[in-house]
Structure 1
Amino acid sequence: MMNQLVQGVLLGGYYALIACGLSFMFSVMRIINLAHGSLAVFSAYGLWLLAERFGLSPFLGLAVLLPVMAVLGWVLQRYLLERSARGGALLPILTTFGLAIVIDNLLFEQFGADTRSLAPYIGSLSYDSWEWPGNIYVGKLAVLIFVVAVALLGGLQLFLNHSAMGRSIRATSEDPDTAGLVGIDAVRINAMATAIAMATVCLAGAALGMRATFDPYSGAPQLLFAFEAAVIGGAGSLWGTLAGGIVLALAQTLGAKLHPLGFLIGGHVAFVLVLFARLTAAGRLRSLLGRTA
């Protein structure tokens, strides 16, 4: 049982990593990016292409692809999401849904339906492990992904709290009109925030490609995991995203222990229970405020 708990916590690090960009975009711009999973798969294909065609390891490939994804995020925000946001809250969701379909089908047209993986390009890291007391084996790659997730979430939190750009992002997320009165360009800040989110998506795509296989239509399951982790942890909360990822992974691990088909069902049950609890609490709060008004 202890071994399963350890593996669940480490898997939660991956879920937190892939949910980071989704939670960050929602916290800043209140946009639910339905293309999030597809963009992560796009990054995984980009790293695979750099490794297959140019012999770059995925770690060196990240040095090339991270700035590319950041620029792509800036462009998407300035010329797509910013314009769609003017049409109301629903239009950006529909826009990112359409973007996901376009990305998935472009990847299928270019690479076909074959599954691919970055594992062959990272050597023994894909299967090496440490033995802990109690006959517990911990994969080195799983630990690396967990450490990256914690470092990324912690770094983003420090960035938001202690940098001028971070404070501008927080001010824009709270009230873009008032932020504009003190000289903050909300359009530029949102574009920078999306660039940061896309860089985190690139890291998530690298983790996906190293730990598992992927194909052009792998984005939807990754989006689902990211969405569930973000909601369980509290949408917009960075440290909550880590907690949500761990809770989701532990629920999946428990579900798999109870039934061979219970891995995904356990995670969905945890998500529904947390969502129901949040809605119930919100309803009671509104009722209480209504009585005191």
Structure 2
Amino acid sequence: MTNQIVQGILLGGYYALIACGLSFMFSVMRIINLAHGSLAVLSAFALWLLASHLHVPPFLGLAIVLPLMAVIGWALQRFLLERSARGGALLPILTTFGLAIVIDNVLFEQFGADTRSLAPFIGSLSYDSWEWPGSIYVGKLAVIIFATAVVLLGGLQLFLTRTGLGRSIRATSEDPDTAGLVGVDARRANALAAAIAMVTVGLAGAFLGMRATFDPYAGATQLLFAFEAAVIGGAGSLWGTLVGGIVLALAQTLGAKVHPQGFLIGGHVAFLIVLFIRLYTSGLGLRGLLRFSTGKVS
């Protein structure tokens, strides 16, 4: 049981990493990016191309891919999300859904349905481990991913609270009109936030490729894990994202211990339990949820 808990906590670091950008964009721009998983897979394919064709190691390739992802995030906000947001809350969601379909199918057209992995390009790191007391083996890559998630979330928290740009982003998320009155450029703040979110997506895609296999349509599964972790931890909360990722991963690992098919089921059950608890504690309830779904909640 101890081994399952340790492995679940480490897996939670990956879920927190992939949920970080989703939660960050929602907290700042109130947008649920349904292309989140597909963009992570796009970064994984970019690193795979650099490694397989140009012999650039994945960790070195991040120096190329992460700035590229930042540019994609900036362009995505300036030319798609910003304009679609003028049409209401639903249009940006539909826009990112369409973007996900485009990315998935372009990747499929270019690379086919075969699965790829970055594991062959990182040597023994993909399978090396440390032995802890009690015959517990902890993967080195899993520890690196968990540490990266903690450092990234902590760095973002410090950025938002201790820097002028971070405070501008927070002010824009609270009230863009009032922030504009005190000299904050809301467009610039949102574009910067989208660029930062895409950098986290690029990191998540890199570790996805290192720890597992991926294919052009793997984005939907990653989006699901990211969404569940973000909701469990409280959408918009950075440290809550880490807690949500750990809770989701523990539910999955313990579910797999109960039944071979319980890995995904355990995570979904944990997500639904937390979701309904949040609905009831917020005073929404089932009746309110039905009213919300029909658009009758003010």
| Residue 255, structure 1, aligned to residue 255, structure 2 | yes
Q: Distance in 2 between matches of 1:236 and 1:180?
A: 22
Secondary structure at the aligned position of 2:283 is classed as helix
Q: CA deviation at 1:83?
A: 0.2
Secondary structure at the aligned position of 1:231 is classed as helix
The corresponding residue for 2:141 is 141
Encode CA deviations 1:234-268: one digit per residue, 9 max, x unaligned.
00000000000000000001110111100000000
Code of the aligned partner of 2:14: Y
Q: CA deviation at 1:24?
A: 0.2
The corresponding residue for 2:218 is 218
Encode CA deviations 1:86-128: one digit per residue, 9 max, x unaligned.
0000000000000000000000000000000000000000000
Q: CA deviation at 1:284?
A: 7.0
The corresponding residue for 1:178 is 178
Code of the aligned partner of 1:252: Q
Q: Counterparts of 1:204-283 in structure 2 under 5 Å?
A: 204-283=204-283
The corresponding residue for 1:108 is 108
Encode CA deviations 1:196-232: one digit per residue, 9 max, x unaligned.
0000000000010000000000000000000000000
The corresponding residue for 1:25 is 25
Code of the aligned partner of 2:209: G
The corresponding residue for 2:296 is none
Instruction: Give the % identical residues.
Output: 82
Q: Distance in 2 between matches of 1:131 and 1:105?
A: 42
Secondary structure at the aligned position of 1:138 is classed as strand
Secondary structure at the aligned position of 1:100 is classed as helix
The corresponding residue for 1:42 is 42
Q: Distance in 2 between matches of 1:189 and 1:283?
A: 33
Encode CA deviations 1:59-107: one digit per residue, 9 max, x unaligned.
0000011101001100110000000000000000000000000000000
Q: Distance in 2 between matches of 1:87 and 1:61?
A: 38
Secondary structure at the aligned position of 1:4 is classed as helix
Code of the aligned partner of 2:90: L
The corresponding residue for 1:79 is 79
Q: CA deviation at 1:185?
A: 0.8
Secondary structure at the aligned position of 1:117 is classed as coil
Q: CA RMSD in A?
A: 1.0
Show structure 2 runs of 5+ residues with no match.
Answer: 289-298
TM-score by length of 1: 0.97
Encode CA deviations 1:5-32: one digit per residue, 9 max, x unaligned.
0000000000000000000000000000
Q: Distance in 2 between matches of 1:229 and 1:43?
A: 21
Q: Counterparts of 1:57-68 in structure 2 under 5 Å?
A: 57-68=57-68
TM-score by length of 2: 0.95
Q: CA deviation at 1:160?
A: 0.2
Q: CA deviation at 1:271?
A: 0.2
Q: Distance in 2 between matches of 1:76 and 1:194?
A: 8
Q: Distance in 1 between matches of 2:69 and 2:14?
A: 19
Q: CA deviation at 1:169?
A: 0.3
Q: Distance in 2 between matches of 1:10 and 1:158?
A: 23
Code of the aligned partner of 1:159: F
Code of the aligned partner of 2:234: G
Q: Counterparts of 1:139-178 in structure 2 under 5 Å?
A: 139-178=139-178
Secondary structure at the aligned position of 2:56 is classed as coil
Code of the aligned partner of 2:210: M
Encode CA deviations 1:21-62: one digit per residue, 9 max, x unaligned.
000000000000000000000000000000011100000000
Q: Distance in 2 between matches of 1:277 and 1:235?
A: 14
* Displaced runs of 4 or more, over 4 A: none
Q: Distance in 1 between matches of 2:40 and 2:3?
A: 29
Q: CA deviation at 1:167?
A: 0.2
Secondary structure at the aligned position of 1:87 is classed as coil
